[in-house]
Amino acid sequence: MPISKLGQRRQVVIPKDICDELGLQEGDFVEVTSTEGKVIIKPKKMVDADDVLTLEEEKVVRQGEVQLKKGQRVPWNALKKELNL
């Protein structure tokens, strides 16, 4: 079981094998919480500000959500053909 030491500024080093297992790299974000006397560190993916929908894309998504709530749907093969996929 790997052991880390709490640093001067409350920093903790996550062992390399654990970082590799979780796919963590320098600069990645993690969520730190505590429960029942334990510290829990979870990898978190942040959304890039450039990765947001345009107003037109938002409108299409909302329209699709309304159609789904009404039970309207299109077979995947028909959709792929319409989108030229």
pTM: 0.51
- DSSP code per residue over 24-38: --TT-EEEEEEETTE
Domains of the chain, first to last: 1-46 (2.10.260.10), 47-85 (no CATH)
pLDDT tens per residue across span 26-80: 999 999 999 999 999 999 988 777 788 889 999 999 999 999 999 998 899 988 8
Pick 24 or 1 by higher pLDDT.
24
Per-residue pLDDT at 74: 85
Q: H-helix or E-strand containing 19?
A: helix 16-22
Per-residue pLDDT at 33: 96
Residue 82: CB partners within 8 Å, gap ≥ 6?
74
Whether residue 4 contacts residue 12, with contact meaning beta carbons closer than 8 Å, is answered with yes
Instruction: Kindly calculate the radius of gyration of the chain based on its CA atoms and give it in whole angstroms.
Output: 22
